[in-house]
Structure 1
Amino acid sequence: MIRLSDLPLREDLIGQEPYGAPQLDVPVVLNVNENPYPPSPAIRHEMAAAVVSLAGGLNRYPDREATALRSDLAHYLGHGLTAADIWVANGSNEVMSHLLTAFGGPGRKVLTFTPTYSMYPEYARNTCTGYVTVPRRADYTVDTELVLRAIAEHDPTLVLITTPNNPTGTAVDLDTIEAIAQGTDKLIVVDEAYQEFSSRPSALELLDRYPRLIVSRTMSKAFALAGGRIGYLAAAPAIVDACRIVRLPYHLSAQTQAIARVALAHSDELLAQVRALAGEARAFEAWARGRRYDVVDSEANFSLIGRFPDRHMVWQDLLDRGILIRETGPAGYLRVSAGTPHEMAILRSALDELSPKLEGNPA
């Protein structure tokens, strides 16, 4: 049997592991920031009917431009956007890959601010783009001076600003994003994967004034459509055209396009749980502060708590109790996705039971 080490793998991939948070069959899954509330039976039936309707044409390729879906996304976002301003792909992962394929590559760099999303270095690696990071401030935020100074020092082609940031949940206000856009001619990608959970205005408000600004979004979280794999961006049509150059032919299946359009048609219903999930996260953080945990201020549907002398021990003890959270972020912290009230109650109870073992945390 041939082994991976027997193959002519790219040198920069030798020893690398595939990305992946654990996918385990346990009662309480709170590790990947999913929405715990699935689409309603009525919406599911409508999605199924849409797939059945198009199944007679599956012998033909789908619309490679996803024109109708892009129009629906533009309508959802508002701000005078049209289909020409929207690009859509298989999750925001593919959107980011398209951007780095189009604007990155050998001799070019992408800059971001850590700690942040763990897939960013993999997008850079896969596109042979230099990956440069600068630490965030002590409170895990960024400001205009920090970002512009880093741009001047490293001269990147793209700058990734994540708000709310994963894994910390910290956000960047609109004035800061605008000041950054005013202060540089680099491409600024504002990753708003969790924007619907935040009360701050979106960088979409700035697109008409800053043609090198890009706003990335996903339907995985707020729309409860992680399994649908729909990510998208809003930007100047020229940036969309750059993504069209590097996309694979017919990259978005007919089924994906149909399911996403049904979801957008029912956006009010699907987004109804957004405020409740944000409330669950903020309530859990208040509880954790009351137990003297260190809690990072979050504006997303997840919370970062610590500091644990041995966070892996805590992660494993919770898993042994059927609760899966995420071992990620700064040393000593664990990330908790907002779940249903019942799931969050189970987690709180488990942490209280574990607390005598947690040196530095109360019993």
Structure 2
Amino acid sequence: MTSLDDLPLRPELRGKTAYGAPQLDVRHRLNTNENPHPLPAALLADLGTALAEASRGLNRYPDRDAVALRTDLATYLARTSGVPVGADQVWAANGSNEVLQQLLQAFGGAGRTALGFTPSYSMHPIISAGTGTGWVDGHRRADFTVDAEAAVAQVRAVQPDVVFVTSPNNPTGTAVALETIEALYDATRGMLVVDEAYTEFARPGTRSALTLLAGRPRLVVSRTMSKAFGMAGLRLGYLAADPAVVEAVQLVRLPYHLSSLTQAAARAALAHTDALLAGVDAVKAERDRIVAALPGMGLTSVPSDANFVLFGHFGDAPAAWRALLERDVLVRDVGLPGWLRVTAGTSEETDAFLTALGEIVPVVGAGQGG
């Protein structure tokens, strides 16, 4: 049987494994940070109408520049951030992963380098490898925060072509201070990409990097409709940046990369922004409920601005993961010794998780790892 070793695979891809979280048939699936709430009935009705209308033109190519969708996204960003954002500053693609890939195609590539502060979103180095971009691991403190002074020094030493800052950070959950982002921007001559996939879940007082866009043409803020909007199955991500950045990614995008149906569904969803974002508060309440319950079990968590919680410490996190799975609760082992990550779900899912966790802690132990 043919294996990867038998194929002329690029050397830097040998020994790598594909990205993915376990997709197991369990009752409580809390490992992929999905929004647990179904779409509102009014939106489902409007989606049916919008998709039916778009289907009449499926014999034609979609708007390759998605102008109407980008206009709606710009309106959403301006309304929720208080920052003026024009359609010419917005670009959309198949999930924020394709947005990041296009940025690396445009600004990374052979002979160029990307840097990110790990542990962080694992797709950043994977997409870098896929685009032939060299990857450099940055450093975080033991509490998973970014040391601004050390980070700036590393950026100045490496001089990367692309710097990734995930805020709120995945898998740890905490947002990065805007002052740190400003310092990193000033320290690099390359592009600074702030990945804000979870920003709608941030705690009060947390400001978006959108507020830093003016006068910073090398700054990019990426977002998604997968999390707060509850539309992970739609695959719609977008960025906000200087119009010149949008021009740059258009040089590398595939023609007609967003289908007519995707554009129509996203626009229908954006028309129901208030109803969709109302569910965010419910998710944040469950997140905070998880955080509050952990100390009573001898566990702790990393402060979270996302829809998940990184919790520990376990002497054997994989054993804790297996014990939870045996109780029909699937969480994520992100490979950090002593830690696991759980998505904030419905109140019923939180009940199941906390009950299972209370059962396993006496068995697997707590407060021993880290």
Task: Give distance in 2, aligned partners of 1:9 and 1:264.
Answer: 42
**1:14-68 residue CA offsets vs partner (Å, 9 max, x unmatched):** 3322211112221111101110002112211211221111111111111110110
The offset of 1:346, in angstroms, is 0.6
Runs of 4+ in 1 over 4 A off after TM superposition: none
1:173 alignment partner in structure 2: 177
The offset of 1:72, in angstroms, is 0.3
Q: Is the 8 A contact 2:334 2:341 kept in 1?
A: yes
* Amino acid paired to 1:208: A
The offset of 1:329, in angstroms, is 4.7
Q: Is the 8 A contact 1:115 1:329 kept in 2?
A: no
1:194 alignment partner in structure 2: 198
Task: Give distance in 1, aligned partners of 2:178 and 2:12.
Answer: 37
Task: Give distance in 1, aligned partners of 2:312 and 2:177.
Answer: 25
Q: Is the 8 A contact 2:61 2:256 kept in 1?
A: yes
**1:253-294 residue CA offsets vs partner (Å, 9 max, x unmatched):** 111111100111100000101122112112101111222213
Q: Is the 8 A contact 2:168 2:199 kept in 1?
A: yes
TM-score, length of structure 1 as denominator length: 0.96
Q: Where do residues 120-139 of structure 1 align in structure 2 (5 Å cutoff)?
A: 120-139=124-143
Task: Give distance in 1, aligned partners of 2:341 and 2:201.
Answer: 16
1:313 alignment partner in structure 2: 319
Task: Give distance in 1, aligned partners of 2:50 and 2:221.
Answer: 29
The offset of 1:10, in angstroms, is 2.0
Q: Is the 8 A contact 1:167 1:329 kept in 2?
A: no
Q: Is the 8 A contact 1:355 1:361 kept in 2?
A: no
Q: Secondary structure at 2:261's aligned position in 1?
A: helix
Q: Is the 8 A contact 2:312 2:366 kept in 1?
A: no
Q: Structure 2 unaligned segments of length 5 or more: list them.
A: none
2:76 alignment partner in structure 1: 76
1:254 alignment partner in structure 2: 260
- 1:44 equivalent in alignment to 2:44: yes
* Amino acid paired to 1:289: P
Q: Is the 8 A contact 1:329 1:335 kept in 2?
A: no
Match of 2:97 among 75, 93, 96: 93
**1:158-196 residue CA offsets vs partner (Å, 9 max, x unmatched):** 110111100000111222222332343321111101110
**1:287-340 residue CA offsets vs partner (Å, 9 max, x unmatched):** 112222131111111001112122111111211221111000521100000000
- 1:345 equivalent in alignment to 2:351: yes
Task: Give distance in 2, aligned partners of 1:34 and 1:237.
Answer: 31
The offset of 1:2, in angstroms, is 4.5
Task: Give distance in 1, aligned partners of 2:188 and 2:7.
Answer: 43
- 1:285 equivalent in alignment to 2:291: yes
Q: Secondary structure at 1:50's aligned position in 2?
A: helix
Q: Where do residues 132-147 of structure 1 align in structure 2 (5 Å cutoff)?
A: 132-147=136-151
Task: Give distance in 2, aligned partners of 1:177 and 1:17.
Answer: 31
CA RMSD in angstroms, aligned pairs only: 1.5
1:158 alignment partner in structure 2: 162
Task: Give distance in 2, aligned partners of 1:138 and 1:109.
Answer: 25
The percent of aligned pairs where both chains have the same amino acid is 52
Q: Structure 1 unaligned segments of length 5 or more: list them.
A: none
* Amino acid paired to 1:141: T
Task: Give distance in 2, aligned partners of 1:327 and 1:31.
Answer: 8
Q: Where do residues 206-245 of structure 1 align in structure 2 (5 Å cutoff)?
A: 206-245=212-251
1:7 alignment partner in structure 2: 7
> How many pairs align?
362
Match of 2:112 among 108, 115, 119: 108
